Structure formats: structure tokens, C-alpha cells
Chain A
Amino acid sequence: MSEYFDPYNADRPLMMKCSCGRDHSPADHHAETVADGAARELRARSETAEFEAYSNAFIEATLVKALFPQDEERRRFLRAVGKGTAMAAIASVLPVASLQAMAQEKQGALEKTDLKIGFIPITCATPLIMAHPLGFYSKQGLNVSVTKTAGWALVRDKMINKEYDASHFLSPMPLAISMGLGSNATPMNVATIQNINGQAITLALKHKDNRDPKNWKGFKFGIPFDYSMHNFLLRYYLAEAGLNPDTDVQLRVIPPAEMVANLRAGNIDGFLGPDPFNQRAVFDEVGFIHVLTKDLWNGHPCCAFGTSTEFIQKNPNTFAALYRAVLNAAAMARQPKNRELIAKVIAPSQYLNQPEAVLNQVLSGKFADGLGKIQNVPDRADFDPMPWQSMAVWMLTQMKRWGYVKGEVDYKAVAEKVFLITDARKHMKDLGMEFKAGPTYTKHTIMGKEFDPAKADAYLKSFAISKAA
């Protein structure tokens, strides 16, 4: 007790309430400081030489992957210019202080330091959000305010209106906005993928004995937005089971929090939604986790971090700094040992406004599935920032498959315009290096079927259920 009531401590106010001066018990104060404490601990971890080395290696690996998606390409390039020059070019986008100063000297200071970044309060936004309390933005010399946004359509509008400098997106959104689907065509770029995996199909408890999707005719499902991986994955999953998602079931666009409320009310039978709302449905005892999207496509992208092409062109240094901050956060979020503390940092009402217990289950991958079992899936949600352009091509094939895009689509042109790999290529050119490596295409396996971005049209034609002609 003396910790709380210490009349001999010069710094303590002499009153019978909390030492912070506010009218609550010291126990309440303790709960409030937990988040601060976790942030402090994470910040300390981020300042160790060990993490810095890890983070640099992580970002370097991401960049090298981005630059050389194909092994032969990488070997050829490294043989041609040598490891040293290649590393110097990559280092120019690394968050190493001295190199950063050097890069800034060469190219001028940050064009804009006060930035407004939007996010939707879901765990997908973790790196973007945690970079704020952990001071990753300020370390890059940026004064960022991360602003909670009421919905995806609003994110789109605020990006087009330039109210936000950069934002959390659903990864198909920048493609759709750039193509003018459901909005004015405004060129947008994906800088990094925020998270991979991390969604699930959640069903109402009354369906716990009806797990075969073939029997789901007439079901009503919630999805967060038309141009979302959630929509495309759910449609894919249903179509694989022989259901036509346009005629056999109803798909409704519902904000995630309302998905849980609607599930409770029995208005929908299930949803493919972002976490933490899958886990929240379990926590609130209204639903169970039927399948993780990880089991449909392991490593699928979900949300992205991006901005408008105009912003990048006007503020290249600011963008590079922002990019470094978010990559740093992704490196930290990637380490499982940090996840428990991250859950504490992003739980308060300022960020996700969710029970810490729920976030912890989502991020740690050890979770209650709603059917009485504890499951242990460490990569239930993960953070791999690499924006493979092949992923963009897949999204485009699905947009075409379900009739969001009509006519011919030049998959590769759109993918390469929107999914920015990094500005490392530009830096290489600045250093006078000839750079020939191609764009980043790789094959993916989705529900056991291989997707080869080089044969996108054949892939599209191979589906029995499809709206594409």
C-alpha cells in the first residue's frame, strides 16, 4: 500500500486519489499504464542492436526479394555489379541512421513532416498503428497522426480528397481506385502489404453441425467491402464447393463490428471478416471459426499500406521515410515473441478498442475456436510486407471472374503500376546502375490449385463458376 500512499514522497500529491491526480483508484491507473508499459518495453526492444540488425536484415531480405523475385535473375545481377554495389543501393532505403543521413544529404530533406494516416480498427493494421506509440514515425523525423476511420468507402473518399496522406487499404482497393471502379480513377500505389493471412470464415453457432459448404445454399454472408480479399476468397471458397456466390447465397457488405452484431441477431449465417472480429464472435459466444483463410491460401495478402501516386511523386523522401517506419514495425510484428506486448499496445480505445484477451489470441495464434477446442496456429496472422505483383494479378483475375471488371484487362500493366515494389530500383538508377531484373511474379497455390501469373487468362477460364465470358 505504501506504494500508493506515500506522504513522504515529494513528487506525490497529498490526496487520497491516484498519484496521477485523476479521480480513479490506483488499480484503474495500473490498467491504464499497462499499455504504456508494453509500449515502453517494445520500444526498448526496438532499440537493441539485436533488433536493429534483425530489422535491417528483414528489410534487406524484403528488398532483395522485391528486386530479384527470380533466383537466376538475382545471381546474374549480383555477378554483374558485385555484392558491394548492390548492397549500397539497397542500403539507401534502409533505416540505418548514418546511411539515412547520407541519403538525405544527397536528395534534400523531408518534403512534408506532418502526415495524416488513416486506418480501420482491425488487427490487419497492426504495423501501421504500432509504429505510432513505438515512435517509429518520429524516429524517421515524421510527425504522424494515425486516424481511425469509419469505413472503407470513407478511406477511399478521404484518399481521393487528399485528407489523408497515406492509408491502410484493403489490398485490392488501390487496384480498383486506380482503375476507376466504384470511384473516380485516381492513381494509387501499394507500398507494402500490411499483413498476410489473418482472416477466417466465422459461422453462427447454430451451424456447428453443418460444416460442409455444399449445404450452404441460401446462406447469408457478411463481407467488409466489394474490393476486398475477403470477398474474393469467400467467393472462391463457395464456388469451389459448387455454389454460385451470386445466385445461391447472399453476400452483404457489412462493417466488421456489425457482422458480430448481425450474427448474434441471426441476420446472417456467417461472415468472412477481418480479425479481431472472428475471435470477437467466439469471445461473445455467438459464432465459431469454421476455417482460417490461411487454410485456403497460405500467405495470402490482406490489407495494404499505400498512398496516391501523386503523393509519392511530390514527396519522395517523405515516402521513403514512411516506408522505412512501416517496414520497421512489420519487422517487429513478425517476431512472435513481441506479439503479446503488441496486443497490449494496440488494445486501448485510441487504437483498436478491443479486449486484450481477444487480440492476444489473434496475434499469438493460440485461440479458442468457439467449439470448445484450443487451436495452435502460430501463423494465423503474419506480417510479410512483400507486395508480389502476382498477387495483384490474382486479384484482377477475380475481379474479372465476378464481373467487377469487364472486357480485356492488361493484368501485368495494372499490377506493375499499382503494386510498387520499392523505390530501391530508383535508387539503383541514381547510383548509375543498370537494372534489368523483371517484375515480381511468383506462383501461388490457392485451395490446392496452382496460379501462374503468366497464364492468368487460362487460369480464369479454368473455373466452372464464373461470370467472365
Chain B
Amino acid sequence: MKTASLNLRAAVVSLLIFVCFIGIWQLATTGPSIGGSSAGMTAEEIEYAKMMGKDPGAEKSSGFPPPIEVAKASWAHLSDPFYDKGPNDKGIGIQLAHSLGRVGLGFLLAMAVAIPVGFLIGMSPLMRKAFDPFVQVLKPISPLAWMPLALYTLKDSDVSGIFVIFICSVWPMLINTAFGVSAVKREWLNVASTLEVNPLRKAFQVILPAAAPTILTGMRISMGIAWLVIVAAEMLVGGTGVGYFVWNEWNNLSLTNVIFAVLLIGVVGMLLDLMFAQLQKAVTYVE
């Protein structure tokens, strides 16, 4: 009962913050309307105004768009998400699918490398010490710094995008897996040795379940990073994806569409995170 009322109160406060935010946004962006009457202007002045996009009746967005405009643009994009007008103009749904596909592929590759290597490092203190400097140096490198190298060596912009996702999301998974594996309780390993469990069975039935929550935490962090990286990578490489969409709208200097894209990126990122939160819940155990 108490938690329910807490949730309710939290929801009310969230809603209040949201309404305030939108209200302030609306107030801050309500400027004098453009256009107006053309009375008292010479013919040339009227033509000049038209060239500046100010003829009466014309819609021209100048300055920061009010929330209602963003809502309209969002509705327009969301109501027709899968149109395809050639290689440079696709619906937001198709763009999202491209981004998610790249993230998924890069992430799977990162998993395929990070979890086995993490196991290895976690089991052997020697390996951990040996790998540590490399991990520490490679971990903080920005995706944008990897991009030119990837383009130069891989010679394909799509593969480069996937590579950048891979290289940026591999580290948290690696570190967390190694930590999770090395932190498995001594007693459990000792029990396994007493029962003479073979190494493979020990890995899958003792270590993996014990380390699973930590490994999943690593994956959750990695997924967050991968989603951050994809937008930057696609802005650089272009072609398809949400990042390309943002770049294209930036090129058009359309803040409205950029805001829509930013909100969408946030929502999708949140959904991805929720997905991993559920997975994490599924593997968590109580001692």
C-alpha cells in the first residue's frame, strides 16, 4: 500500500515536471509572429520579404521550435515510418531498423569476444595483469577517433560502423565478465573440485550462473554505450540510420526534426536498457 502510494506520488511529480518543462519551453519560444501586414511597403520591400520567406501565410520556422511544432513533426514521422523514396530519404522506422541492426551485429561480435576473453582473464590472475594495460589504454578511446582508422583499414563504411560499435562496447563487458568470474566464491569452486567436476561443466554450471548477474551488468552498460556510439558513427558515415537522419536534418538546419530524433533516440535507448534490466532480473539469484 505504501509503495503504491509512493509510485503514484512519483508519477504525479513526474507529470508535473513534464508539464512545467513543456510550459516553459512553449513560453520561451513564443516570439512575435512573422509575416504580418504588407501595408506601407514598396513593391520591392514586399518582394524582399517574400525572398526571406516572410510572405503572409508562409510558414517559416525561425529560432527554437515550440513544442507543438515538434509534436506535429513527430506525428508526421511516426504516422508513416516505413516509406522509402530512394537511398537518401527513408522513413524513420527503416532508419531505426538500420541502426538497431548495426548495433545488434556489433554487440553480438563484442559478446563473442568479450565473454570468452573475460572468462580467461577472470580465471587467471596472470592474464588479468597482462591484459590490464591494453584494456585501460583502449577503453577510453572515442568512437569518432576509431572511425578514420576503420575506414582506412576495413575499406567499407558499413563494416566500419559495425566495427566501431564492437570496439566501443567490448570493454565494459570484458571487465565485468572478468570481475564476475574472478569473484565467484572460493567455496563453490572448492565444492566443484571435491566432486571432480570436469572443467567444462564447472564453467557452465558453477561459474557462469554465479557470474551471470555481473556479466549482464556489463552487457547492459555496453548496450548503452553502443547506442550512444551508433548515432555518432552514422553521423560521420552517413547513408542510413538514426544518426544519418540527425545529420540530414542538421544539414537542413531543421531543429524541429533534430529534436524529434533526439527524443526518439532517448526512448529507444531506454527500451534497450529496460530489456537488459529484465534479463538481469531473470538471472539474479538470492544467496
Contacts and interface: CB of A to CB of B under 8 A. Distances in A.
Interface stretch (B25-33, B79-87, B97-105, B214-222): B79-87
Of A157, A255, A261, the most chain B CB neighbours within 10 A belong to A157
A192 to B, nearest CB: 22
A238 interface: no
Contact of B152 (A121, A157, A256, A257): A157
A210 B51 CA distance: 24
B238 to A, nearest CB: 3
B85 A350 contact: yes
B252 A368 contact: no
Interface stretch (A78-86, A145-153, A197-205, A335-343): A145-153
Interface in B141-162: 151-152, 155-157
B88 A147 contact: yes
A134 to B, nearest CB: 14
A283 B157 contact: no
Contacts of B157: 154, 157-158, 161, 163
A150 B238 contact: yes
Contact of B251 (A284, A350, A353): A353
Given A154-B236, A161-B156, A374-B48, A23 B80 contact: yes
A154 B238 contact: yes
Of A24, A148, A162, the most chain B CB neighbours within 10 A belong to A148
A353 B258 CA distance: 14
A283 B156 contact: no
A23 B80 CA distance: 8
Contact of B52 (A121, A258, A368): A368
A256 B152 CA distance: 24
A190 B12 CA distance: 64
Interface string A254-272: 0111101100000000000
A371 to B, nearest CB: 10
A351 interface: yes
Contacts of A261: 250, 253
A283 B252 CA distance: 12
* B-side interface mostly: helix
A432 interface: no
A154 B52 contact: no
A145 B53 contact: no
A350 B157 CA distance: 20
A357 interface: yes
Nearest to B44: A374
A280 interface: yes
Contact of A350 (B50, B52, B86): B86
B90 to A, nearest CB: 9
A150 B249 CA distance: 12
A282 interface: yes
Contacts of B250: 257-258, 261
Interface string B38-79: 000000100110111100000010100000000000001001
A441 B83 CA distance: 49
B239 interface: yes
A232 to B, nearest CB: 24
B237 interface: yes
B253 A257 contact: yes
A285 B34 CA distance: 12
Contact of A349 (B87, B89, B152): B89
B238 A148 contact: yes
A283 B49 CA distance: 10
Listed from nearest, the 3 A-B pairs whose CB atoms lie closest are A150-B238, A350-B89, A368-B51
30 contacts: A23-B79, A121-B251, A148-B87, A148-B88, A148-B248, A149-B238, A150-B244, A151-B236, A151-B238, A154-B151, A157-B152, A161-B155, A163-B156, A163-B157, A257-B251, A257-B252, A261-B253, A283-B53, A284-B62, A348-B85, A349-B88, A350-B88, A353-B248, A353-B249, A355-B60, A357-B50, A357-B51, A368-B52, A374-B47, A374-B51
Interface of B: 44, 47-48, 50-53, 60, 62, 76, 79-80, 85-89, 151-152, 155-157, 235-239, 244, 247-253
Interface of A: 22-24, 121, 145-151, 154, 157-158, 160-163, 255-258, 260-261, 280, 282-285, 348-351, 353-355, 357, 361, 367-368, 372-374
